[in-house]
Structure 1
Amino acid sequence: MTRIRRRTLLTIGALATAVALTLTGCVTAFFPDGGGSGGASTPAPVTDDLAGDLVPFYEQQLAWESCEGEGFECATVAAPMDWENPADGDIELSIVRQRATGGDPIGSLLLNPGGPGASGVDLVADSVDFAAGEPLQRDFDIVGFDPRGVERSTPVRCLDAEDMDAYLYDLPTAEKGSDAWIAEITDSSARFGAACAAKTGESLEFVTTVNAARDLDLLRAVLGDDELYYLGYSYGTFLGATYAELYPERAGRLVLDGAIDPSASITDVNVAQSKGFESALAAYLEDCLDGTDCPFSGTVDEAKQDITALLSSVEQSPLPASDGRQLGTSTLVTAIIYPLYSAASWPYLSQMFEQVMSGDPTYAFYFADQYNGRDEDGEYLNNQTEAFSAYNCRDYTFDPDVETMRANAEELAAVAPVIGPYMGYGDIGCSAWPYPEQADRDEIHAEGAAPIMVVGTTNDPATPYQWAEALAEQLESGFLVTYEGEGHTAYNKGSDCVNAAVEAFLVDGTVPQEGLTCD
C-alpha cells in the first residue's frame, strides 16, 4: 500500500487493501530443527563475470525447513551487506516457498508485494492464493522474500511501540506550514533517523533498491534458476525494473503490476498521487451518492466540500480516542486513503465517515492502525514504516529548501483540493536522514532484456496509469496491458482477461496482442 509518512512523505504503494487486511498480524515461524521436506537447493552455475569474493554467496546451499502453514518451506540466504565490498560482512535474507503443485516446476517465481517495506514472506505464507493464481502455483515454485531491511531480513529498527505512536500520531503544536511547524517536524524526523541508525547499525546505509535488486539476483541463483521469473506489485515494479537494468541477460519473464515511473522525481510522485487519490475519492463519492447508505448528499463536488469541512473541523478540534490518542487531519487522511485502494472497501469508508461526523474516531483509528501495522494492543506487527523510510530516503533526491516546499504544497492543493493540502512538505522527512547520499531518478531501458510485461489500472490511485505507460515506453522490450477499472494493481483482482494474460506470459512466454485492454 502507499505509505504516507504522518506530516511528511507521500511515496510509492505496496498492497491493495484486501491484501493488507489479510496479512496484518501474520508472522511465519521458522523452525531451526524442523527437518523440512525440501532438503538442500542446488544453486545455478556461477557465471564467469562474477567477482571472486561474491562466488561463495552464489554457491551457498540452502537448507529448507518446515515452517508454519501446511506446504511451506523456509530458508535463510546470506547476502553481502555492501555489494561493492562483499568482504565487509553479510546480512540475512528470509524466503518462503510453496512447491509447484504440478510437481515439475518451470522454476521459482519470486513475488514482491511492494512498499517499499512490505513482506513477501507474509504475502506468500498467508495469502498465496491471492498472490498467485492456480496456473502459476501449478507450474512454479512460489517464493516470497523479505527484501533487505524488511521484517525478517536484517530489518531496519528504529523506535519502540510507545515512541512509534508518538512519531505517527502525536499532533504538531504549530500551525501547518509555519516556520515553527517546519522546525518541529524537522526535529522529529532527525530524531527518527538517528534512532534508526542507532538501533539498526551499519546495515542501514545499504538499504537501497539497487542493493535489493542485486540480492534478487543472488536469490535467483541459489534457487537454481538461470533466469529470473518475477511478479512485482507497485514498488515491486521498480525493484523488478532495476533488476532488468542491472542484469538484462538474466531477466527471464517479469511482470510489473501497478507500475512506477522510475524517472519520476519525488515532486512528480506527490503530484501524481495526490491527483490519483483525489480521482479515487471522486469515484467513491459518485458510487456512494448513487447508493442507499451514503453519509453524503447532493453532488460529488458538494460531498467533497463536506469532507474538506470535516478535515478542517478535525484540525481545529481533534477527536479523542479511548486510548488517549487524538484524531487529527494527518491520521484522518490516512484513514480516508486506506480504503481507496480497493472499491470493495468503499462501504467501510462510508461507515468511517459517518462515525467521524458524529464525533467518534474509532473506525478512523482502526484504518490508520491497519495501515501502520499497529494492533489493538498498541504493538507494531511489522517494520514497514522504518523500512519505507530507509528505502525512500536513499532512492529519491530531496530538496530541504523551505520556499520550494511551500511552492510545491501550493501546487498540490491546487491540483487536488481535498487530499493535496495534506501531502505537502514531503522533503522534510528525509532531509536529516543519517546517510545523505541520494539517488537521481532516471529512465530504465533494460537494453537486451527479454519481453517485460507492464500492467496498469486506469484509475489506480497509488500508482497512476500514466506511470505504467511511461515504464512500458522506457523499457526496450516492455509492453503494456491495460485494466480499465478502479483500485491498486490488477492481477488476481477479478479480471479474467488480466489474469489470463499474466499467467500465459509467465507460464508459456506468450506475449499478448499489442495494446491489450481488459475490463
Structure 2
Amino acid sequence: MATSRLLRTSAAALAATALLISGCSSGSSSSDAAASPGRTAEAGAQRPADDASLAPLPAATPANLRPYYDQKLSWHPCGVAGFECATLKAPLDYTKPGAATDLKLAVARKKATGPGSRIGSLMVNPGGPGGSAIDYLEQYAPQPAAVRARYDMVAMDPRGVARSEPVECLSNKQMDRYTQTDQTPDSPAEVNKLTTAYRNFAKGCEAHSGKLLPHVSTIEAARDMDVLRAVLGDQKLNYVGSSYGTFLGATYAGLYPSRVGRMVLDGAMNPALDSRTINIDQTAGFNTAFTAFAKECIKRKDCPLGTKSVQDAGRQLSALFKKLDAHPAETDETRKLTESLATTGVIAAMYDNRAWPVLRQYLAQAKAGNGRGLLTLSDSYYERDPSGAYANQMYANPAVNCLDLPSAFTTPDQVRAALPSFRKASPVFGESFAWASLNCGYWPVKPTGTAHRIVAKGAAPILVVGTTRDPATPYVWAKALASQLSSATLLTYDGDGHTAYGRGSDCIDTAINTYLVEGTVPPKGKRCK
C-alpha cells in the first residue's frame, strides 16, 4: 500500500534508506553498486496542461498580511549542536488571515560559519511531500563546508509536516494493516477491501485533521516560504529543493519571480502534468531502474532472479510477488511479508543503486521463505521505526498531493481500463502502481490545484538538475521543467538513483556548489557521470 511512492518521494527518506542499507551491507565492494546502462524513463505520454501558466502574485504585500511579514522570530538552541529553532506564524487561509486560526510553523537554522562574507540564507526542502526539512538539514543535507561558510542554512517543516501542525490520520496499528492491504486485487472482494482501506484512511485524516486538510497545498507552502524569507531579512530566496521540493521551489519562482536568488531544483518534477500521466511516467521510471538493476544482477552467478535475461528476471520477480500474495513470508515478528510490503521494499531499493547489493541478498532470502530483509526495506520507505511508530510523511504526502491535483482515477472501473497502459510501462510494477493511483479518489477535500506550466519570467538564473535513470522523477521531467522556466539551465547526471546532488559525483557537486557560492551556472548542455 505504497500510496506515496506514486507521486513524490522524499530525498530524506532516501537518505535514511541508504544509511540503513550501508549498515546492513558494509562488506560489499564499490563495484557492487556500479551504475548500469539503461534507457531514460520517457515512456509515459506527456500530457501537458493547457497554455495556462502559474501567474505571479502582486509585488506589494497586502495590508492584512503585513503582521506576518513584520513578525520577529525568537530563536533558541535546539537539536544538533550549532542549530537554533524558532516558530513562524502563518495564516491558515491566505484569503482570510486571522490570528485565531494562525498556524505555527517550525524553523531551524545554522548560521554561516565563515570564512568569507555571508551571502544570505539558504533554504532547503527534501521533498515528499511530507519530508521534514529540519530533519534533512540536521542529518542529511549535502551542502559542504564551502557552502555552509557563506550561508545561514535554513529549514522549515512545511504546513502539515512533522513539527508544523502535522496532519494525523491513523494509529500505528491501523497503519500496519493499511500498508499490508493487497494492492493487486484479483477479485471483486479484494477490490472492495482495497477501496475500503482508501476510504477509511481518508476518513481518519478528516477526523483528526479536517480543518487543516483544505490548506496544505503547495501554493500555500510556497507563500509560507516567502513570509520566512522576509522575516529572515533576505531580499531574495536562495533555495535547494530535491524531488517534490523542486515543485515547491518552482512554484515559489512562479509566484515571486523577482524574489528568486540562487535556486537549485534537483530531481525535477514537471508541473504541467496531470496525476494520471505523473503516475504512468513514474511507473516507467521504476521500470527503467529495475532494468538497470537486473542488467547488473544477471551477470552474477548468485543473482536471485536468474542469469538468463532482464525479461526473465522480471518474470521471476513477478512470480515472487505472486507467491507472496498467496502465502506471505515469515519474519521475526508477528507481521508477515505480504506482496504489497515486498513490492514496497523493492521500490525502496530502486531509489539508490548503492542499495542493490543488499536487495539481491534480501530477494534471495525472500525466495527461501525469509521475509525479514524486504520488510526492513519497506519499513525504511514508510519511515516506520523499530517501535512500530510511523512518521507523519505517510499522512502529509496524500494530504498535499490530493489537494494539488485532481485524482488520477475515481472508480475501480477507471483503474481497470487503464491497466494495459500501466502494465506496458512496467510489467513488474504496473498493476500495483495503477491501483495505488486510486487513493486520492476517496479524499474528503476537493482539489484546489490544477496542472500548469511555470515560466517565472524575470527570475534570476535557476539550475535544474536531472538524473537520466531516476525512477521517481524521470529525466524527461527535468528537461520539461528546464524548458518551461524562462531562466533555467539544465544540468544532467548520467546515472542511476533518485536525485544527483551529494550522491558521489564530483562533477555534479562542483557545478552546484560553484553556482551557490559564485552564482555561475554551468555551461549549457553540461553532463556529468
| TM-score of the superposed pair, with normalisation by structure 2 | 0.88
Aligned residues: 488
**CA deviations over 1:307-359 (Å, ceiling 9, x no partner):** 11111111122223343223222111100011111111111101110110000
**CA deviations over 1:391-431 (Å, ceiling 9, x no partner):** 01111111314332212222111221111121112343112
2:17 aligns with 21
Question: 2:255 matched to 1:246?
Answer: yes
1:100 to 89, 112, 137: 112
Cα contact 2:279–2:437 (8 A) shared by 1 = no
* Aligned-partner SS, 1:62: coil
1:213 CA drift (Å): 0.5
> CA 1:141–1:77 in structure 2 vs 1: closer, same or farther (change >3 Å)?
same
1:300 CA drift (Å): 2.0
1:135 to 131, 146, 153: 146
1:4 aligns with 2
2:380 aligns with 370
- Which residue identity lines up with residue 305 of structure 1 in the other structure? R
1:430 aligns with 440
Kindly report structure 1 stretches of 4+ aligned residues shifted beyond 6 Å: none
Question: 2:290 matched to 1:281?
Answer: yes
CA distance in 2, matches of 1:287, 1:151: 38
1:408 aligns with 418
- Which residue identity lines up with residue 240 of structure 1 in the other structure? G
* Aligned-partner SS, 2:434: coil
* Aligned-partner SS, 2:369: coil
Cα contact 2:76–2:85 (8 A) shared by 1 = yes
1:21 CA drift (Å): 3.4
* Aligned-partner SS, 1:219: helix
1:163 aligns with 174
CA distance in 2, matches of 1:263, 1:188: 30
CA distance in 2, matches of 1:371, 1:339: 9
* Aligned-partner SS, 1:327: coil
Cα contact 1:170–1:326 (8 A) shared by 2 = no
1:479 aligns with 489
1:259 aligns with 268
* Aligned-partner SS, 2:395: helix
1:185 CA drift (Å): 2.2
**CA deviations over 1:267-301 (Å, ceiling 9, x no partner):** 11111111111111111122223346432322222
2:194 to 182, 185, 205: 185
Question: 2:514 matched to 1:504?
Answer: yes
1:27 aligns with none
- Which residue identity lines up with residue 358 of structure 1 in the other structure? A
CA distance in 2, matches of 1:427, 1:359: 30
Q: Could you tell which deviates more after superposition, 432-441 or 391-400?
A: 432-441
CA distance in 2, matches of 1:306, 1:320: 20
CA distance in 1, matches of 2:413, 2:186: 10
- Which residue identity lines up with residue 511 of structure 2 in the other structure? A
CA distance in 1, matches of 2:181, 2:414: 26
* Aligned-partner SS, 1:469: helix
- Which residue identity lines up with residue 135 of structure 2 in the other structure? D
* Aligned-partner SS, 1:498: helix
CA distance in 2, matches of 1:260, 1:4: 19
Q: How does 1:331-346 map to 2 (within 5 A)?
A: 331-346=341-356
Gap runs ≥5 in structure 2: 21-57
> CA 1:340–1:417 in structure 2 vs 1: closer, same or farther (change >3 Å)?
same
Higher relative contact order (CA 8 A, sep 6+): 2
* Aligned-partner SS, 1:320: coil
1:41 aligns with none
CA distance in 1, matches of 2:67, 2:412: 48
Cα contact 2:405–2:447 (8 A) shared by 1 = no
CA distance in 2, matches of 1:289, 1:61: 59
1:301 aligns with 311
> CA 1:442–1:78 in structure 2 vs 1: closer, same or farther (change >3 Å)?
same
1:219 CA drift (Å): 1.2
1:84 CA drift (Å): 1.2
1:383 to 348, 367, 392: 392
**CA deviations over 1:457-497 (Å, ceiling 9, x no partner):** 00111100000000000111111001111111111111111
1:40 aligns with none
Q: Could you tell which deviates more after superposition, 289-298 or 385-394?
A: 289-298
2:324 to 314, 327, 346: 314
Cα contact 1:472–1:479 (8 A) shared by 2 = yes
Question: 2:138 matched to 1:122?
Answer: no
* Aligned-partner SS, 1:323: coil
- Which residue identity lines up with residue 12 of structure 1 in the other structure? R
Cα contact 2:411–2:441 (8 A) shared by 1 = no
- Which residue identity lines up with residue 107 of structure 2 in the other structure? I
1:109 CA drift (Å): 0.3
- Which residue identity lines up with residue 494 of structure 2 in the other structure? E
Question: 2:388 matched to 1:393?
Answer: no
* Aligned-partner SS, 1:86: coil
**CA deviations over 1:236-270 (Å, ceiling 9, x no partner):** 00000000111111111111000001011111111
> CA 1:16–1:305 in structure 2 vs 1: closer, same or farther (change >3 Å)?
farther
2:157 aligns with 146
1:171 CA drift (Å): 4.4
